[in-house]
């Protein structure tokens, strides 16, 4: 029952977020146009004014990128699989979660293997798992904490590591984190490691972890490299 209530809350939150981002788009476009207009005559202004315009345009672009990422994540997931690059999914997920991390003074860094091949998987579902893992890692960290996301390739498998230096998982909880909605912070949302594992297993992959209390946790996601049928 508790899981169902949590799922309903997340569905409502997703719809509200999608609607809000759509509403933000129009005034943001107007703001960008006005800033572009001002930048045309930037030579007429002083150095401080030019810097203010430049910084504002940069901020608008960042907001626009975050909005597009949220809209992409909120689109209804399907069972279809197509060719994607895992690094692109990681970049999108980190972009979505960066504001939440910044609010808690937690840094997110990426170490991405640029040689990863494209592979066939459900992009939105893998993105959902990454969002879940990043959320839990951010919430496990104290102020000044660090989260690192790494991609790699190993013998036909694509791998994602999500590592944090947070509070870790106590021994008494290690057996149940995949069986129910779990969070290692009282204020955490507990977005569902059991759901994450089910999604990854649907894609033919695995998800495991290592954790030490007060030292941090690392989750390991493995996905098989699959090519289009015509390439097999």
pLDDT, tens digit, for every residue of 109-152?
A: 999 999 999 999 999 889 989 988 998 899 889 999 999 999 99
pLDDT 10s digit of each residue in the chain, 232 long? Answer: 555 665 566 666 666 666 777 678 778 888 888 888 888 887 888 888 888 888 888 888 878 777 766 666 665 555 567 899 999 999 999 988 888 898 889 999 999 999 999 999 999 889 989 988 998 899 889 999 999 999 999 999 999 999 999 988 877 777 777 765 555 444 444 446 877 888 899 899 999 999 988 889 999 999 999 887 544 4
Report the predicted TM-score, pTM, of the whole model to 2 decimal places: 0.66
CA 181/CA 179 separation, integer angstroms? 7
pLDDT, position 230? 43
- The third-level CATH classification (topology) of the domain covering 82-231 is Heat Shock Protein 90 (3.30.565)
Q: How far is CA 28 from CA 18, 33, 34, in A?
A: 15, 9, 10
207 forms bridges with which residues in the sheet? 221
Residues 6+ apart with CB under 8 A from 156: 224, 225
**How confident is the model at residue 113, as a pLDDT?**
96
| Rounded Cα distance, 195 and 56, in Å | 39
Nearest to 221 by CA among 160, 171, 179, 167: 160
**H or E segment and range at residue 173:** none
Rounded to whole angstroms, the Cα distance separating 31 from 38 reads 11
Q: Is the dihedral of CA 75, 95, 213, 159 positive or negative?
A: positive
Give the start-to-end residue ranges of the domains of the chain: 2-74, 82-231
């Amino acid at each position: 029952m508790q899981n169902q209530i949590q799922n309903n809350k997340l569905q409502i939150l997703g719809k509200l977020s999608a609607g809000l981002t759509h509403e933000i788009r129009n005034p943001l476009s107007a703001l960008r146009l006005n800033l572009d207009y001002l930048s045309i005559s930037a030579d007429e202004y002083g150095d401080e004014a030019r810097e203010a315009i430049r910084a504002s345009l940069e901020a608008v672009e960042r907001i626009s990128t975050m909005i597009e990422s949220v809209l992409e994540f909120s689109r209804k997931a399907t069972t279809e699989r197509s060719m994607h690059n895992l690094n692109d999914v990681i970049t999108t997920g980190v972009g979505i979660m960066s504001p939440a991390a910044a609010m808690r003074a937690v840094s997110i860094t990426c170490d991405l293997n640029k040689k990863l091949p494209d592979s066939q998987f459900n992009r939105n579902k893998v993105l959902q798992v990454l969002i879940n893992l990043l959320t839990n890692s951010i919430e496990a960290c104290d102020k000044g904490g660090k989260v690192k996301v790494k991609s790699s390739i190993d013998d036909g498998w694509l791998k994602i590591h999500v590592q944090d230096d947070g509070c870790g998982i106590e021994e008494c909880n290690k057996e149940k984190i995949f069986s129910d909605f779990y969070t290692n912070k009282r204020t955490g949302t507990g977005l569902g490691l059991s759901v994450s594992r089910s999604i990854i297993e649907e894609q033919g992959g695995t998800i495991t972890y290592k954790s030490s209390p007060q030292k941090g946790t690392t989750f390991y996601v493995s996905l098989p490299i699959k090519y289009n049928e015509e390439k097999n």
